[in-house]
């Protein structure tokens, strides 16, 4: 049943992209025709009077959307790279998405050590860095993989050594109990820097799924199609403006 639904969703997605492409082509053809006939001369000449304002508005929108998309995509790629490399950071810093609220507040009866960094809410994008074994102490927040291969970001409550190896007991600030198993230093990915960006983590988690990747590909395709036909309209507009200037 699940495979059938997947096939139906794929067919529906392809048909949607085909319809979007046909719609853009039809609208662009109609718009270019109206420009050529002079129906939009007033709008074209008004744009000439305020070109900088229109350009600035478009630039701000593109830059903002591009930065958010780039941050989300980069974090998704980093998370996958960390998992593939066995829990090791490829760069000195990385951004990770938070999927739960286990660090969003401090549970009743649990006090943080003096000077400890505050926690973070679910769906935030948190920044971590590489940390040597000697740097980590009680109160630090670390990202690590548990025995089930799940990436967790919790606070160290205790540091101890067994047979020459360092281990950490950890706990989520909002949890009522400590994590069930100790974490070896070899499972530690990095240390939380205290910096985070709200809500962006939700986009990162979405991009880490197959649905998110397919959606991203569809959005890129639609943007490319829109840009292609927008350029055709711009070319028709420039041609019409030259014709208007020639009549003067």
When pLDDT is cut at 50, 70 and 90, the band that residue 245 belongs to is: confident
User: Please, are residues 171 and 218 in contact by the beta-carbon 8 Å criterion?
Assistant: no
Rounded CA separation 103/243 (Å): 64
- The pLDDT tens digits for 50-94 are 556 556 666 776 777 677 667 666 766 777 777 676 667 778 888
Beta strands in 70-134 (DSSP E): 93-97, 125-129
- The pLDDT tens digits for 107-124 are 998 888 888 999 999 999
The gap from C-alpha 40 to its chain's centroid, in whole angstroms, comes to 39
User: Please, are residues 172 and 178 in contact by the beta-carbon 8 Å criterion?
Assistant: no
The percent of residues in the chain predicted with pLDDT above 90, rounded, is 35
Looking at residues 131-151, what average pLDDT do you find? 92
Q: Does pLDDT of 247 surpass 80?
A: no
- The pLDDT tens digits for 145-155 are 998 988 999 99
User: Please, are residues 139 and 112 in contact by the beta-carbon 8 Å criterion?
Assistant: yes
Q: What's the pLDDT at 248?
A: 56
The DSSP bridge partners found for residue 94 are 128
Q: Does pLDDT of 14 surpass 60?
A: yes
Rounded CA separation 151/98 (Å): 10
Which of the pair, 158 or 7, is modelled with greater confidence? 158
Which of the pair, 226 or 128, is modelled with greater confidence? 128
- The pLDDT tens digits for 212-233 are 778 878 888 888 888 888 888 8
Rounded CA separation 188/183 (Å): 7
Q: What's the pLDDT at 210?
A: 76
Looking at residues 219-248, what average pLDDT do you find? 81
156 C-beta neighbours (distance < 10 Å), count: 22
């Amino acid at each position: 049943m699940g495979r059938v639904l997947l096939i139906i969703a794929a067919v529906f997605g392809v048909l949607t992209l085909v319809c979007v492409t046909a719609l853009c082509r039809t609208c662009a053809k109609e718009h270019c025709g109206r420009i050529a006939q002079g129906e939009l001369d007033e709008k074209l000449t008004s744009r000439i009077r305020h070109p900088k304002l229109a350009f600035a508005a478009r630039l701000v929108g593109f830059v903002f959307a591009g930065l958010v998309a780039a941050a989300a995509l980069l974090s998704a790629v980093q998370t996958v790279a960390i998992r593939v490399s066995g829990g090791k950071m490829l760069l000195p810093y990385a951004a990770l998405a938070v999927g739960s609220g286990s660090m969003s507040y401090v549970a009743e009866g649990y006090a943080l050590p003096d000077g400890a960094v505050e926690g973070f809410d679910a769906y935030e994008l948190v920044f971590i860095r590489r940390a040597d074994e000697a740097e980590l102490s009680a109160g630090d927040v670390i990202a690590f993989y548990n025995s089930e291969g799940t990436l967790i970001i919790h606070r160290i409550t205790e540091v101890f050594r067994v047979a020459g190896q360092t281990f950490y007991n950890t706990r989520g600030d909002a949890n009522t109990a400590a994590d069930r198993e100790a974490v070896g230093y070899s499972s530690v990915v990095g240390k939380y820097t205290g910096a985070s960006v709200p809500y962006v983590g939700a986009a990162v988690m979405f991009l880490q799924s197959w649905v998110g990747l397919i959606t991203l590909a569809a959005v890129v395709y639609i943007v490319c199609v829109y840009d292609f036909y927008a350029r055709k309209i711009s070319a028709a507009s420039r041609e019409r403006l030259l014709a208007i200037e020639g009549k003067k």
